[in-house]
């Protein structure tokens, strides 16, 4: 069912942050930083994959994501919903179901046998494709997926994520220079505000996280 009415973007951001905290998808530890996929340290880590195991929260957030995309991009803006391997696949399926559209997914690299495909499912030339993922850091990882979609003759001018780090100023430029608009439900700033309001972490931890959010590259450089 296509959602047609939901809270303001600001309220959706607050509620999304609250739900991520509730299911303990958010992890803060400035004393013993996490190692990101890039190899760099971070006092923050988020696991959006946990959402698939929480039906009520999952349903609400997928409604939020669907209505956000339709409000921002248009109600008839897409012909196909593509998920990025692997975290984006379930969320793309949920959004496609709501929008009554075909769903496909994009491999990180060709599978190496058979037709050596990167696109699974039926994607056709001229289709307008929405790329769905769980999150984005600086936007760079989305470009390979977008290029694979465009190689089919389809277009991809929008990507939707549950979570945008929101601390790297180059994110919108990286995607924008590639002709892609980002749609997201919340950022680390929203999570930090809700964590403070709910006292989900102690004040020293939150202060350490805020230091990172204000200068992530400098924070990482000092600890690498």
Can you list the domains of the chain with their CATH numbers? 9-223 (3.40.50.2020)
For residue 24, give every residue at least 6 positions away whose Cβ sits within 8 Å of its Cβ, in sequence order, or none.
50
Q: What separation in angstroms does the CA of 51 have from each of 19, 60, 103, 163, 208?
A: 9, 10, 19, 12, 26
Count CA atoms within 13 Å of residue 168 on its CB side.
15
**Residue 2 confidence (pLDDT):** 74
Q: Which stretches of the chain drop beneath a pLDDT of 50?
A: none
**Residue 115 confidence (pLDDT):** 66
**Residue 114 confidence (pLDDT):** 62
For residue 15, give every residue at least 6 positions away whose Cβ sits within 8 Å of its Cβ, in sequence order, or none.
7, 60, 64
């Amino acid at each position: 069912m296509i959602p047609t009415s939901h809270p303001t973007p600001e309220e959706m951001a607050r509620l999304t942050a609250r739900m991520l905290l509730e299911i303990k998808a958010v992890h803060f530890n400035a004393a013993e930083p996490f190692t990101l996929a890039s190899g760099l340290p971070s006092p923050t880590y988020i696991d959006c994959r946990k959402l698939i195991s929480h039906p009520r929260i999952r349903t609400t957030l997928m409604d939020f994501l669907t209505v956000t995309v339709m409000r921002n991009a248009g109600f008839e803006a897409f012909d196909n919903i593509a998920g990025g391997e692997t975290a984006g696949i379930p969320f793309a399926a949920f959004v496609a179901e709501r929008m009554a559209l075909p769903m496909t997914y994009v491999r990180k690299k060709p599978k190496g046998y058979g037709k050596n495909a990167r696109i699974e499912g039926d994607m056709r030339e001229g289709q307008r494709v929405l790329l769905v993922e769980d999150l984005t850091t600086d936007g760079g990882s989305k470009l390979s997926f977008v290029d694979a979609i465009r190689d089919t003759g389809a277009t991809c001018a929008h990507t939707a994520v549950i979570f945008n780090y929101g601390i790297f100023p180059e994110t919108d430029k990286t995607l924008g220079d590639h002709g892609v608009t980002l749609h997201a439900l919340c950022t680390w700033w929203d999570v930090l505000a809700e964590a403070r309001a709910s006292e989900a972490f102690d004040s020293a931890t939150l202060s350490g996280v805020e230091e990172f959010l204000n200068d992530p590259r400098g924070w990482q450089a000092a600890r690498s």
